[in-house]
Amino acid sequence: MIHVHVNVLEVALFLALVLRIGLVLFLLPFFSGQQVPAMIKAGACFSISLLLYPSLKDVVQPVPLDMTGLVLVVVAELIIGMLLALSCVLILAAFQHAGEVISFQMGLGFAQVADPHTGNQVTMLSRWFNLLGLLLFFSLNGHHYLLRAIVGSFHTIPLGAGVLTPLNYERMIALSAEVFVIAVKLAAPVMVVILMLQFGLGLMGKFAPQMNILMTSFPLSIMLGLLFLGFSVMVVGDAMTQILGHMVRFIFALARLPS
């Protein structure tokens, strides 16, 4: 007869690792979409936790097995996972918002497509900006910094320890406000060109009332908007480098790691 000994403490510790890592992975924009099957998400979460378990089992403190302790651990891990994933969500949301602003300025607000991440309708330029930000995030090794912060958080933040302090709350508010600043900076070249175009067309309509300014403005707005959007793409990489620096400092501060 075969006897199998199961160490309940080690199982609870492994599940705690799965909880924190899984929450971060499942909330990431490039991993939380509907196009990624649930089995692949669960397999990736389980595989990463299994790889990290041998190096973290001696670092992480044991998980309490009483009901109150388990509930506190789960709630604390939910908060930590959401905060670590929040930085990536907000950074890519800034790119998407920039696409929304440019689409509205160019008159392409009605040209919408389905976003596979959320299933909602978004503008084409918003979806394009989202993909551009995602590719730049991977090309600049943003996922490496995120994994480093997750692993480092187990060394600095014990299981069940709360991180929603007043200082972290201020950091979240500051990062949320930074989303709109980043979006306006990314959309600024096209916004300025469209504004100057509308100003010029307004003057033409004043001095030449016989011209159909409304029908003329639509193709000009789209043509100039796409032209200067192509010019601005050349500097988006440098902007993404600075944005990624903000994100790394944010998640490292949350994980209590030196940036």
According to the model, what pLDDT value does residue 138 have? 83
Specify which residues 114 forms β-bridges with. 121
Q: Which two three-digit tokens encode residue 208? A: 């030449």
According to the model, what pLDDT value does residue 109 have? 67
According to the model, what pLDDT value does residue 78 have? 78
The DSSP symbol for 63 reads: P
Phi, psi angles (nearest 5°) of residue 18: -60, -40
Domain ranges of the chain: 8-254
Q: What span, in angstroms and rounded, lies between the C-alpha atoms of 22 and 84? A: 11
Q: What span, in angstroms and rounded, lies between the C-alpha atoms of 255 and 151? A: 9
According to the model, what pLDDT value does residue 33 have? 66
Mean pLDDT in consecutive groups of 10 residues from the start of the chain, 259 residues:
63 79 78 73 84 79 71 78 78 82 77 61 77 81 82 76 68 76 83 84 75 73 82 77 78 71
Tokens 């929603």 belong to 164
Phi, psi angles (nearest 5°) of residue 204: -65, -40
According to the model, what pLDDT value does residue 244 have? 78
According to the model, what pLDDT value does residue 2 have? 57
Length of the chain: 259
Q: What span, in angstroms and rounded, lies between the C-alpha atoms of 129 and 124? A: 9
Is the distance from CB of 243 to CB of 181 less than 8 angstroms? no
pTM as predicted: 0.75
